[in-house]
Amino acid sequence: MFEYLIFFTFAAIAVIFSAIVVIHRNPVVSALALVVSFFSLAVMYVLLDAPFMAALQVIVYAGAIMVLFLFVIMLLNLAHTEEPITRPIQQFLGITAAASFAITIIYYLCKAAVLHTGGPAEFVSDARAIGVSMFEAYIFPFEAVSILLLAAIVGALILSQRTSAITEAKDGGAR
């Protein structure tokens, strides 16, 4: 009973704040609403017996990625730039597409309805089990992701440099 109460509260919070993310015209408000939405998703992970993933969700998404978003919005001072109204045709098509997608997928989820069993009795997802799984079965993807992150760091540095290495080389060639 208690679990259902938590589920519906946080599901409602997640949906409402996600809608704010999409609809609100101020990017700072959008970013903060997204943080709330991510936080309620972390609560969902706890309900799904995956507290480790919930903690990771808050640390990675709410604690790092969204701070980065907020930082960039503040740095570029985007909150005061007016976003032009979207063309009506784009709005109509977008809403139609999203709504039809949602209706279809929810219809088939309800129709199929094979997933009401609630799963097996025990689902161990503590840090030890995840660590063992990651460093045995998933060691190769793990290494690949570490290389990806390194590449992302280098890429972000080069992209956000005030004078990038490419333009500098070009300028040097021109002179």
Partner 1 sequence: MSFDTPDILLNLIKIGIVLGLILNVTPIMVWVERRGSALIQDRPGPNRIGPLGLIQAMADAAKFILKEDLVPAQAHKVLYNLAPMFGLIPAVTTCAAIPFARGFTIPDAFTYNGVIGALLVAGAVANFLFGVIALRVTAHFGAKPGATRFNQWIGKIVGVALIATAPVLFGLFAWFRSVGSVAMPLGLGGRYFEPIIADVSIGILLIFALSSLGVYGLATAGWASANKFSMIGAVRASAQMISYELALTLSAVGVLMSAGTLQLTEVVYRQSGTFVLFDMIPLPAWNVFPMFVGFIVFWVASFAETNRLPFDFAEAEAEIVAGYHTEYSSMKFALFFMAEYMAMGTISALMATLFLGGWDVPYWNEPATFVGFLASFGAFLAKTTFFLMVFVWVRWTVPRLKYDLLMKLGWKVFLPLALLNMVIVAILIPLGWI
Partner 2 sequence: MIPTSWFLILGAILFSLGVLGVLTRRNGITIFMSIELMVNAVNLTFIAYARELGSLHGLMWVFFIMAVAAAEAAVGLAIFIALYRHRETIDVDEANLMHW
What residues between 4 and 63 interact with partner 1 by CB under 8 A? 26, 28-29, 32, 35, 39, 42, 51-52, 54-56, 58-59, 62-63
67, 144, 152, 153: which one binds partner 1 (CB under 8 A): 67
2 binds, among partner 2, partner 1, none (CB under 5 to 8 A by kind): partner 1
CB of 24 to partner 2, least distance (A): 9
Q: Report the distance separating Cα 6 and Cα 8, nearest Å.
A: 6
Q: Report the distance separating Cα 103 and Cα 43, nearest Å.
A: 25
SS (H, E, C) 48-114: CCCHHHHHHHHHHHHHHHHHHHHHHHHHCCHHHCCCCCCCHHHHHHHHHHHHHHHHHHHHHHHHHCC
- The encoded tokens of residue 4 equal 């259902």
3-state secondary structure of 118: coil
Q: State the binding string over 53-92 for partner 2 (x if CB under 8 A, else -).
A: x--xx--xx--xx--xx--xx-xx-x--x-xx-x---xx-
Using CB under 8 A as the binding rule, whether residue 152 contacts partner 1 is answered as: no
3-state secondary structure of 25: coil
Residue ranges that bind partner 1, judged by CB under 8 A: 2, 26, 28-29, 32, 35, 39, 42, 51-52, 54-56, 58-59, 62-64, 67-68, 70-71, 74-75, 79, 126-127
